[in-house]
Amino acid sequence: ASQKVTMSNLESDKFINYQRIEDNLKIVRDRARAFGPSQSGVISSPKFTGRLHHFEDLIFSLNLRSLGHPLTLAEKVVYGHLDDAKNQDIERGTSYLKLRPDRVACQDATAQMALLQFMSAGLPSVAVPTTVHCDHLIEAQKGGVADLARANEINKEVYNFLATCSQKYNIGFWKPGSGIIHQIILENYAFPGGMMIGTDSHTPNAGGLGMVAVGVGGADAVDVMADIPWELKCPKVIGIKLTGKLSGWASPKDVILKVAGILTVKGGTGAIVEYFGPGVDSISCTGMATICNMGAEIGATTSLFPYNSRMADYLRATKRENIAAYADVFKHNLTPDAGAKYDQVIEIDLNTLEPYVNGPFTPDLATPLSQFKDAVIKNGWPKEMKVGLIGSCTNSSYEDMSRSASLAQQALDAGVPAKAKFTITPGSEQIRATIERDGQAAVFDKIGGVVLANACGPCIGQWDRQDVKKGERNSILISYNRNFTGRNDANPATHAFVTSPELVTAMVFSGDLTFNPMTDTLQGANGPFKFQPPNGAELPPRGFDAGVDTYQAPPADRSKVVVDVAPTSNRLQLLTPFAKYDPKNYKDIDVLIKVQGKCTTDHISMAGPWLKFRGHLDNISNNMLIGAVNIANEQANSIYNKLTKQFEAVPKTARDYKAAGKPWVVIGDENYGEGSSREHAALEVRHLGGVAVIVKSFARIHETNLKKQGMLPLTFADPKDYEKINPEDIVSIQGLESFAPGVPLNLHVAKPDGKTVDIKLNHTFNDGQIGWFKAGSALNLMAAAAK
């Protein structure tokens, strides 16, 4: 137990602390036991001495007693990272836990704002190991090498800012071309039983290595970098029991595509999805990562697999045999207790699992391959497949590439040409170099595939697509994770379907969505051709080829590093603190927009062309809510401006209100802010004068992001009350003088005809968060404390 095992081969002085998990769990279990079986009596917890007389004390004791039950793996890792296991109140779904993550990771599109905030906090260096990854800002145009060179040129100022900031604050920096954050993390930093937060919603990818890895907004990351415990609502745990064995065409991706269909885009909210059961061992470590990655699409806090031999294999293949050996010693804490209690259990039989195709426009519209043809015809989805895109953080493992290449090779051998265009996005430089050495890249090349840069590329709209015109209806198949409207190519008429890389590759040869590669035949050079199921090695038999070195370690002497942000820059802007709470901003204010239907972070703060302004709050605010549909006219980016008395763009109208000193609110529907972790979706609203976002329900990360920036995320106590507000109404948020946890607020609505309506609003603020609200933002509080 006193062994010293480094967290990563790149950080020689940062060690894995399995002993802390062991110690914390002992404390938690002892406390639970101390309550004994009876419901009355004396509480022996140090927090509550004396007799039980409070209702809350009773709840507290009951919850702790339930911890005496066998624990899920999620609970073990989460409670194993408690800041104060002795005194922490623990109730799944209710208490706010204070946690000590092992690491932080940021990608370039979110790191800019995170680091700008960290700079405002005035600290000399980050408190926990942190890395920054340049992956989102590289546009796919010609191919890997040319696109990277172009990105380096275009984004010079931003890369330079991130590189010097990393040097100054002791952060590991992964240069453009190194690969996608989640792949780099899996290859170098993730470890079983670890806890990490990352400023990207697909951070849970590391669950494939048994890590509790959670996507957060930049401000949460700043807390942890500044040594403040990270707060998380104690998650519920959804168990997914896997039986049978994965084989043939079915792939890990199909597990999560099916789960998404069952749970829908909000089914995982507030929960960690934990996989268990005999089927787990039939999935490779990278396959488990794929499954965890896309848990983001069901709103899950994170997803997690128990430590097993497949993880050990991957650790060894990535030169971390010491971690595997150490994990073996602590395996009892890296797997669930027998009989662990889940809040909900879903069983999936891998023996009968079919390939799935999910979409268009939402990742939870799941259709099994055998029914996909009918669905395409019935729904009138464009039948022709224009482009197949594989790779991304979700699916670019060696296994994915090998299995996809095996299908391409079959078609080549049979003389079947590709009908659709084909692109490959390697997840990392290591993957790119290895598939180049081992021949998969050559196979892709022979079928006309283009290997793009090791970066997000088309997955986040960094795609200079030329083959169809804007507005032209068309279909594409992607092995990525998200398919919100316009995401890949900014064309709202593009129907993007999410599926496995194997299926994308096979379908490229028919160019037709109604083709089923498992049953249908194609015309080859010497007659009909039918695909055999894909196959390929899980790990490279000759080991990984590291490729070009793309890592910049922080220098030993950081004192002379200067970070500069030019005041004239249109890409970077230093932050000015938001004003603190002022009661008058909540009285008789306007409804800027009442949003109809789905409103993801892509609707609130679009990516693609706007990614370049991620470090400049005022400039990026020009995209605020431009994708959201106004219920009044069912149009996007057209709302009634009460000052000019005409329909105008949302950001323009908000700026007019702000200039006139008129605060405003947004009204929204369900699962508002689903999707990305980008805090710009909260910052922009605050920057342009918004004070509250009132919706039927929120996605977790967005709700926290709003709180952190001094906004009020509020929900209708009765979702039907959404109907009672119109854009022309004047509203007041009442009850803030006595703002307190668990106490609802009142929305007083004044109609143009003089009538009024009162609506009950719920909130999830705790005491600390109310402090952020009053200070104007969480950062204001932190900066005040640092002085």
Counting contacts by CB under 6 A, is residue 25 touching ligand SF4? Answer: no
Counting contacts by CB under 6 A, is residue 109 touching ligand MIC? Answer: yes
Nearer to ligand SF4, 198 or 547 (CB): 198
User: Which amino acid belongs to residue 468?
Assistant: V
Burial class (CB in 10 A: 0-12, 13-18, 19+), 2: exposed
Q: What is the dihedral of CA 643, 649, 650, 653, to 10 degrees?
A: -20
Counting contacts by CB under 6 A, is residue 393 touching ligand SF4? Answer: yes
DSSP assigned state of 369: H
CB of 698 to ligand MIC, least distance (A): 15
Nearer to ligand SF4, 479 or 573 (CB): 479
Residues in contact with ligand SF4, counted by CB under 6 A, come to a total of 13
Using CB distances below 5 to 8 A depending on partner kind, what does residue 392 bind out of ligand SF4, ligand MIC, none? ligand SF4
Options 102, 187, 200, 438; binder of ligand MIC; rule CB under 6 A = 200
Among positions 154-193, residues that touch ligand SF4 (CB under 6 A) are 180-181
Options 166, 392, 395, 402; binder of ligand SF4; rule CB under 6 A = 392
The residues that bridge with 747 in the sheet, in sequence order, are 733, 759
Residue carrying the six token digits 């500069």: 564
Counting contacts by CB under 6 A, is residue 400 touching ligand SF4? Answer: no
The long-range contacts involving 514-523, CB below 8 angstroms and separated by at least 24 positions, are 514/372, 514/373, 514/376, 514/377, 514/383, 515/373, 516/369, 516/370, 516/372, 516/373, 517/249, 517/407, 518/249, 518/355, 518/369, 518/370, 522/411, 522/414, 522/416, 523/416
Using CB distances below 5 to 8 A depending on partner kind, what does residue 214 bind out of ligand SF4, ligand MIC, none? none
Using CB distances below 5 to 8 A depending on partner kind, what does residue 180 bind out of ligand MIC, ligand SF4, none? ligand SF4
174 Rama class: left (phi>0) / alpha (psi -120 to 50) / beta: beta
CB of 602 to ligand MIC, least distance (A): 7
**Active-site residue identified among 482, 571, 616, 680:** 482
Counting contacts by CB under 6 A, is residue 494 touching ligand MIC? Answer: no
Among positions 341-380, residues that touch ligand MIC (CB under 6 A) are none
Using CB distances below 5 to 8 A depending on partner kind, what does residue 678 bind out of ligand MIC, ligand SF4, none? ligand MIC
Nearer to ligand MIC, 200 or 670 (CB): 200
Stretch that binds ligand MIC, among 157-165, 195-203, 361-369, 371-379 (CB under 6 A): 195-203
CB 254 within 8 A of CB 123: no
Counting contacts by CB under 6 A, is residue 459 touching ligand SF4? Answer: yes
320 is catalytic: no
**What angle, rounded to 10 degrees, do the helices at 778-786 and 700-708 form?**
50
CB of 184 to ligand SF4, least distance (A): 11
582 is catalytic: no
678 is catalytic: yes
482 is catalytic: yes
**Active-site residue identified among 251, 676, 697, 777:** 676
Residue 417 backbone dihedrals phi, psi, to 5 degrees: -80, 155
Other CB atoms within 10 A of residue 472 CB? 12
What are the residues whose beta carbons fall under 8 Å from the beta carbon of 212, sequence distance 6 or more? 74, 77, 78, 81, 194, 195, 196, 272, 302, 304
Counting contacts by CB under 6 A, is residue 676 touching ligand MIC? Answer: yes
Counting contacts by CB under 6 A, is residue 612 touching ligand MIC? Answer: no
Q: In what order do the strands lie in the sheet with 302-304?
A: 302-304, 271-276, 236-243, 344-349
Counting contacts by CB under 6 A, is residue 100 touching ligand MIC? Answer: no
Distance CA 619, CA 610 (A): 9
Nearer to ligand MIC, 205 or 653 (CB): 205
Nearest residue to 74 (alpha-carbon basis) of 429, 344, 396: 344
CB of 182 to ligand SF4, least distance (A): 6
Residues in contact with ligand MIC, counted by CB under 6 A, come to a total of 14
Other CB atoms within 10 A of residue 752 CB? 9
Nearest residue to 391 (alpha-carbon basis) of 255, 293, 514: 293
344-365 CB burial, b ≥16 within 10 A, e <16: eebebebeebbbbbbbbbbbbb
CB 61 within 8 A of CB 89: no
CB of 455 to ligand SF4, least distance (A): 8
Residue carrying the six token digits 């993957």: 431
Distance CA 529, CA 517 (A): 10
Counting contacts by CB under 6 A, is residue 397 touching ligand SF4? Answer: no
Nearer to ligand SF4, 433 or 459 (CB): 459
Stretch that binds ligand MIC, among 198-206, 379-387, 520-528, 545-553 (CB under 6 A): 198-206
Options 76, 133, 202, 614; binder of ligand SF4; rule CB under 6 A = 202
Options 110, 166, 362, 491; binder of ligand MIC; rule CB under 6 A = 110
CB of 290 to ligand SF4, least distance (A): 11
389 Rama class: left (phi>0) / alpha (psi -120 to 50) / beta: beta
Residue 117, SS3 per DSSP = helix
Options 395, 677, 697, 704; binder of ligand MIC; rule CB under 6 A = 677
Stretch that binds ligand SF4, among 28-36, 456-464, 659-667, 776-784 (CB under 6 A): 456-464
Counting contacts by CB under 6 A, is residue 677 touching ligand SF4? Answer: no
**What angle, rounded to 10 degrees, do the helices at 767-775 and 778-786 form?**
90
Distance CA 184, CA 134 (A): 11
Stretch that binds ligand MIC, among 1-9, 46-54, 675-683, 731-739 (CB under 6 A): 675-683
Counting contacts by CB under 6 A, is residue 201 touching ligand MIC? Answer: yes
Options 678, 686, 687, 702; binder of ligand MIC; rule CB under 6 A = 678
Using CB distances below 5 to 8 A depending on partner kind, what does residue 110 bind out of ligand SF4, ligand MIC, none? ligand MIC
Considering Cα of 483, then 302, then 456, then 191, what sign does the dihedral take?
negative
Options 460, 522, 565, 629; binder of ligand SF4; rule CB under 6 A = 460
- The total number of residues shown for the chain amounts to 787
Stretch that binds ligand SF4, among 236-244, 453-461, 553-561, 772-780 (CB under 6 A): 453-461
445 is catalytic: no
In angstroms, how far apart are the furthest CA atoms of the chain?
Answer: 86
Distance CA 128, CA 450 (A): 39
Nearer to ligand MIC, 137 or 211 (CB): 137
CB 32 within 8 A of CB 68: yes
Using CB distances below 5 to 8 A depending on partner kind, what does residue 31 bind out of ligand MIC, ligand SF4, none? none
CB of 183 to ligand SF4, least distance (A): 9
Counting contacts by CB under 6 A, is residue 253 touching ligand SF4? Answer: no
Catalytic residues: 135-136, 200, 482, 676, 678
Q: Which residues bind ligand MIC (CB under 6 A)?
A: 109-110, 136, 200-202, 215, 460, 482, 607, 675-678
Q: Which residues bind ligand SF4 (CB under 6 A)?
A: 135-136, 180-181, 200, 202, 392-393, 456, 459-460, 480-481
